[in-house]
A and B are shown apart, each in its own frame.
Chain A
Amino acid sequence: MKRRLVIFCVAVAVYAALIAVAWEIGTRQARKNTEWLLDYAVMDVHDTVAGAIDTMLGHVARTAVRHIGHANAMSMERMANGAKELDIDEVNVVTRSGRIIASNDPFCMGVEMAGDPVMDAFMKLTNGVTATVSQPFRPHARNPEFRAKYLAAAFPGGDGFVQVGLDERRLANILPSILGYIFDEWLLGKTGCFLCADRETGRLISNPSRHRDMAKSLAETGFDIAAAKPYEIIADGKNRGKTFKQRIFGEYCYCRMFLFGGHRFVAVLPQREFYDTRTIFVSAFAVLLFAVFTALGIFTDRVFRDSDRLKKFYADDASRREKDMTIAKTIQMSALPVDIPPNPSFEISADMQPARDVGGDFYDYFVLDSSHVAFLVADVSGKGITAALYMMTAKTLIKDTLLAMHDPAETLTKVNEDLCANNPANMFLTAWVGVLDLKTGVVSFANAGHNPPVKIGSRRSGCEFIKDRSGPVLAFMDGVKYRGQTLRLSLGDAIFLYTDGVTEAVDENNAFFGEERLEDALKAASDSEPHHLCSVVRAVVAAFSGGMAQADDITVLAMRYIATPGAFSRTFPSTQEGIAKASDYLDEVVSNGGIASLSAKLHIILDEICSNIVKHSSASVFEVVIEVDEAASAVKLVFTDDGEAYNPLSHTDPNTSLPADKRPIGGLGLLMVKKMSSSLAYRRENDRNVLTVELAIP
């Protein structure tokens, strides 16, 4: 607003300055025009008057030539009579040789014209070609106090000529008759006029018709003769006099005055016309300039308004984006699952840290039934509120479908169809969905373009990226059939899910965090509970990024498989008595568990392993866990003791083909266990020996 005011003021100032310049130019131009008009008028009038006098004298001279007939000497009396008849002041008859042989003026008689500085010009008449020669008024040769004008006309064949002379003083009588008709309708400019007054009496002989009744003399017009600047017109017309200002007929006028034939000639141009010219010029310029300025103003205003609107739009957009991000963040955080009730079979923990521009990360976990738990991590394309809303849709769809179908691959196939059916914004998402069977440790999963999770085994078995054959991203292409895959978690194993916010976090050198660093971090904390695993990874990523802004959401999810649901577990003293009680306990389980067919084998295994613990490990107690998984047709025995680290699997099997006297007796028990079980594993965990034996139910 302020800027507009400034521009308006500047425009007004520029406008005023340009008008002032135009005024000055207009003034100069008007003055020039005035001078030119007056010049033109003066010359025109002078030429007209002079022409009229020449015409009159020419007529007189030719009349005299006709009367005289040829150059002969005539008496002065006759010449004086002739002059009177012709109403002329002087008449001379001149011979071919240029001698005045007859005149009404005795002073002229016998004068030789040829060679005279002034008169010689008339000698052209003797060539038989030139008819008349005229001279302007000039001081009279005999009496320089007055001026006279001479004109001569030749006798036929150039045989001498007649010269007539007019005394300037006589013009007062002649001029009114020849000038009246010239001046009456003579206009100078639009309303200007010419005044002509007798030099002696001041009587006006010319007067514009509109003023005829008002003034009889020059003084009555308001003309101040004393202040005038008169001049004589000289034949060459170079002296044009000076313009002066007078008040005539009640208005200021620019004037020129010249003297001619005893008369004052005054050219009068009202000042009003001078102003008119300037006013028209300046007004036209002002209007044109105004139009240009208005056009420029409108254009500039539009430009400013557009730019203001743009600025406002961007400002609004920024604040709206900020608001959007807050809303998006709220949606995203509120979409995360509430903690599920503690379950002895697994531990799960997850964390999502939204970036400033909120990406579309989400995770979810929920119990499907008593022995299945679903967990997933996904990343919606795009950022902000659109991504957040799409995330809500996708999350709800996945959960509902998975609750109904239980199978990750079928779920993704169905969810993909649903998302593709209505996806105007062309969003898409990656997702890794797993369902853990708590009885078997088998994770069924399906992947829609998501980062490979990490399976975290014991320290010995280490970490492993589950690099499966992934399906395409969700909502991208309909008709996709996702492939179901499985992996197996042993008791104690964990699985770690994450989004690309982890692996694609960058340090100050723009290097990615990457999978190797993730694996290292997970290895270092492989025994930790899920919550700690998540914290460790987040801390390592944060340390790696240093001060770099978090570009994308960072999501981590860790789950550890702890125990089979409904597992039987009891702890016994590490004595022979303890072994007997464990055997009784096994009987108890077998009688409830529908695994009677395995009774003998289970007892043998129990006997072998427990006696090993009691004899060799100096343990105080040992725990026996018996898990029966009918669905998987397997029985699992887990023996844990607090004795010295001892891995029974590290021994080589005894040679069972030696003769009896050389046959070693040790190691046979474990050999049997190995042969009877479908899997056998040892790990040292939390200062305990853990031996896991699995048997297939036939």
Chain B
Amino acid sequence: MQIEKKLENGKLTLAVSGRLDTNTSPELEGELKLDGVSEIEFDFSALEYISSAGLRVLMTAQKAMMACDGKMTVTHPNATVKDVFDMTGMSSIFTIV
């Protein structure tokens, strides 16, 4: 997994490529430094798949944004990832673009 991180005007953009699973999600979680961040965008266009460990990180981020009236979007998930969101009910929680 590789993460490209960009912070601009309180918007944190994380482009995650590769696999987001038990092995890699702790790394992503470590990148989530949310002080002064009011918007998060996960760019999943290069993400192969996501497991429940990855979902946990996304849920943590989502709750943090909801707590500070911030916003979180997930962009360009592939079919597999989208399937995961659908089957776990995350599609109704995340803003998927």
User: Does B48 have its Cβ within 8 Å of any Cβ on chain A?
Assistant: yes
For the complex, what is the distance from the CA of A603 to the CA of B49, rounded to whole Å?
Answer: 8
CB closest chain-B residue, reference A579:
B22
User: Does B97 have its Cβ within 8 Å of any Cβ on chain A?
Assistant: no
- Which of B52, B80, B93 contacts A608, CB < 8 Å? B52
User: Does A600 have its Cβ within 8 Å of any Cβ on chain B?
Assistant: yes
- Which of A579, A661, A665, A675 contacts B56, CB < 8 Å? A665
> In angstroms, how far is the closest chain A Cβ from the Cβ of B73?
14
CB closest chain-B residue, reference A656:
B89
CB closest chain-A residue, reference B78:
A600
CB closest chain-B residue, reference A675:
B87
For the complex, what is the distance from the CA of A671 to the CA of B86, rounded to whole Å?
Answer: 12
Cβ < 8 Å to B, chain A residues 615-671: 656-657, 659-661, 663, 665, 668-669, 671
What A residues does B90 contact at CB under 8 A?
A: 656
A665 to B59, Cβ gap below 8 A?
yes
A580 to B23, Cβ gap below 8 A?
yes
For the complex, what is the distance from the CA of A579 to the CA of B53, rounded to whole Å?
Answer: 13
B89 to A601, Cβ gap below 8 A?
no
What A residues does B19 contact at CB under 8 A?
A: 583, 603
For the complex, what is the distance from the CA of A669 to the CA of B84, rounded to whole Å?
Answer: 10
CB closest chain-A residue, reference B52:
A669
User: Does A678 have its Cβ within 8 Å of any Cβ on chain B?
Assistant: no
User: Does A611 have its Cβ within 8 Å of any Cβ on chain B?
Assistant: yes
A672 to B88, Cβ gap below 8 A?
yes
A603 to B52, Cβ gap below 8 A?
no
Contact A661 B84, CB 8 Å, known A603-B49, A608-B51, A611-B53: no
Contact A660 B23, CB 8 Å, known A600-B48, A671-B88, A672-B84: no
A576 to B63, Cβ gap below 8 A?
no
B80 to A657, Cβ gap below 8 A?
no
> In angstroms, how far is the closest chain B Cβ from the Cβ of A562?
31
User: Does A604 have its Cβ within 8 Å of any Cβ on chain B?
Assistant: yes
Interface of A is mostly: helix
User: Does B15 have its Cβ within 8 Å of any Cβ on chain A?
Assistant: no
> In angstroms, how far is the closest chain B Cβ from the Cβ of A584?
10
For the complex, what is the distance from the CA of A656 to the CA of B90, rounded to whole Å?
Answer: 8
For the complex, what is the distance from the CA of A110 to the CA of B71, rounded to whole Å?
Answer: 208
What A residues does B23 contact at CB under 8 A?
A: 576, 579-580, 583, 607
B22 to A601, Cβ gap below 8 A?
no
What A residues does B55 contact at CB under 8 A?
A: 665, 668
What B residues does A661 contact at CB under 8 A?
A: 63, 66
CB closest chain-A residue, reference B88:
A668
Contact A672 B52, CB 8 Å, known A600-B80, A663-B59: yes
For the complex, what is the distance from the CA of A657 to the CA of B90, rounded to whole Å?
Answer: 9
What A residues does B93 contact at CB under 8 A?
A: 659-660, 663
Cβ < 8 Å to A, chain B residues 28-86: 48-53, 55-56, 59, 62-63, 66, 80, 84
What B residues does A660 contact at CB under 8 A?
A: 59, 62-63, 66, 93
For the complex, what is the distance from the CA of A580 to the CA of B66, rounded to whole Å?
Answer: 33
What B residues does A676 contact at CB under 8 A?
A: 87
User: Does B9 have its Cβ within 8 Å of any Cβ on chain A?
Assistant: no
A607 to B53, Cβ gap below 8 A?
yes
Cβ < 8 Å to B, chain A residues 558-609: 576, 579-580, 583, 599-601, 603-604, 607-608
What A residues does B48 contact at CB under 8 A?
A: 599-600, 603
22 A–B contacts from the bound complex (CB under 8 Å): A580-B23, A599-B48, A600-B49, A603-B19, A603-B48, A603-B51, A604-B21, A607-B22, A608-B51, A608-B52, A657-B92, A659-B93, A660-B66, A663-B59, A663-B93, A665-B52, A665-B56, A668-B55, A668-B88, A669-B51, A671-B87, A672-B88
Taking Cβ atoms with an 8 Å cutoff, the residues of B that contact A are: 19, 21-23, 48-53, 55-56, 59, 62-63, 66, 80, 84, 87-90, 92-93
Question: Which 10 A/B pairs are nearest by Cβ-Cβ distance?
Answer: A656-B89, A669-B52, A600-B49, A600-B80, A607-B21, A607-B51, A611-B22, A660-B93, A668-B52, A675-B87
